[in-house]
Amino acid sequence: MIKEKIQQLAADIFEEVVALRRHIHAHPELSFKEFETSAFIQQKLTSWGIPFEVMANTGVVGLLKGDLPSDQVIALRADMDALPIVEANEVPYKSKNEGVMHACGHDVHSASLLGTAYILSKLKAEFAGTIKFIFQPGEELLPGGASILIKEGVLENPKPSHILGQHVMPLIESGKVGFRSGIYMASTDELYVTVTGKGGHGAQPHQNIDPVLIASHIIIALQQIVSRNADPRIPTVLSFGKVMAMGATNIIPNEVKLEGTLRTLDEDWRAEAKRLMKKMAEGIAESMGGSCEFRIEKGYPFLINEPVLTAQSRADAEVYLGKENVVDLDIWMAAEDFAYYSQVTDACFYRLGTGNAAKGTTHSVHTPKFNIDEDALKISTGLMAYLAVKQLGN
């Protein structure tokens, strides 16, 4: 049976996938600068006889046709970029690029998809249909590599009917995977606010217009948008993570800069919330004698898992891993540019468990101590290969 053959091939290539992951982890590159990673992936695909093309400068899109006749096409996606984080793990494969780290598991995604490509290349005589392997740049940086690849035609010629993606999750035990049907991840917008007043001596506030005070009122008041304007049934998060007031203990600055994020799961409310925030912030600043420039950088849309595809993928995962190793996911208010694919074709984005308390791999993504239980790589490659051939009707 195809399942047993895939499982055997996944076992055979496990140690190489670990090595691939460690190599990519040790040589992280920031968004849209993944030149060495791209070349490494190209070399591997070439060695396995899988043709590819380069898109969006560093993206690699492999194409594998099964020997049996079929017009069906499915796409599998992995991202390649790392984050500007100083790694705190003391491991042999620690980042060699100071200040850059694979802290979101994209090394796992790329190595796993390479393993999947290898498995399927060995089975091409036994399945029908075509598989696209999308190694995508720039997931971590707007406008998102997915949006660029889509504009360049990654979902055309041939056009896939489905796309699958997997992402590490340390909250899930290694050996398990998670699925959620319907809306799963949030949209994201970046907020850049400049509050301008009139600086001066801290001992003479009556002669100044204090932008620090104005900015403080704006931060607090904007939470009202969430608590009193959002439909309670629509999850909404508004957070400011950066406040810059370059004064001193006795100096009131001329301006204060704020940076934050808005996340939600409804496009109509998303647009309305941004309108309300801008109006409120500008109004508060003006009423207190200052001014406010409220700039919004539009980010990724919400991510939706197509129900039929997700149900089928979950059922196939239960066959491959056992029902006890497939869990339900909650809504996740983080954002992912895989959402762009989900807006234009049937998509399923599922989670690969990488957590293991005994091995210390429960640290969150986007932190200096993030790492994975590499035993997760025993299933990441084979599961995606199995899901692909099943979706192609094999």
Among all residues, which ones are annotated catalytic?
300, 374
Q: Return d(Cα 174, Cα 66) in angstroms, integer.
A: 31
Q: Return d(Cα 381, Cα 21) in angstroms, integer.
A: 12
Nearest to 219 by CA among 191, 198, 249: 191
3-state helix vs strand vs coil in the chain, percent to 5 = 40, 30, 30
Kindly tell me the sign of the dihedral angle through the C-alpha atoms of 181, 300, 260, 215: negative
Q: Which residues contact 156 (CB under 8 A, 6 or more apart)?
A: none
Quick one: tokens of 142? 């707007």
- The interaxial angle of helices 2-26 and 106-122, nearest 10 deg, is 140
Q: Judge contact between 240 and 259, C-beta under 8 A.
A: yes
**3-state secondary structure at position 242:** strand
Backbone angles phi, psi at 67, to 5 degrees: -75, -20
The answer to whether the peptide bond before residue 205 is cis (omega within 30 degrees of 0) is: no
